[in-house]
Amino acid sequence: MENFELVEQLKLELIREYEQYVETIAALTDVSEDDAREALHRAACEMLVGLSKRPPGNPVIAWRPYIISGAINKLRDEQKERKRVRLFSQLRKDQREEVLAIRDPRPTPAEVLEKKDTAAILWSEVDGLSPREAEVIRRWADNSSFNEIAEALGLARPTVRVLWMRGIRNLRKRPRIQGLAA
């Protein structure tokens, strides 16, 4: 009971600058002021655990840096614990099932091969377009804008857009391309 009274007395002595300490701790650790206030209280309690009587002098002034750094260290340890990478074997069963249910975002070898085959068919069909249509579509596929294509080919932007639309329309009419869409 004496320790509780000692903690309360320490808090009363800290009260003048208490909110400033809380704001400082919250800013340094990037947590809410309520969490910082709780951490400061815990740090003060931990400092006083085991003391049977009040130490000589003013513990607020002498212990202030230790209490504040103790609160900051405690909050940072908690943040590290939350961010800590756990081993698969350390997960609960439901967490393991969640991890196993996650699909790998990388394409499978079959998907990669299918995309390459599709791209090869598309590019072989582009060669069958008029030279200007094919050039516009190639440059557009290389992420060039209509303005950049027009400037590079010495054409007007509306002409480039018409060539692009005509090329795309002609590609969609090809039987091999229609088979890819199905």
pLDDT in tens, 75-98: 888 887 777 666 777 778 888 888
Arch. (CATH architecture) of 109-181: Orthogonal Bundle (1.10)
Per-residue model confidence as pLDDT tens digits over 30-76: 888 888 888 887 887 777 665 555 556 665 566 777 778 888 888 88
pLDDT at 96: 80
Residue 132 is predicted with a pLDDT of: 92
For 108-159, the pLDDT digits (tens) are 888 878 777 777 777 777 878 889 998 998 888 888 888 999 999 999 999 9
Domains of the chain, by residue range, sit at 2-84, 109-181
Measure Cα distances from 76 to 33, 35, 38, 79, 123 in Å: 14, 12, 14, 5, 55
* d(C-alpha 138, C-alpha 4), whole Å: 77
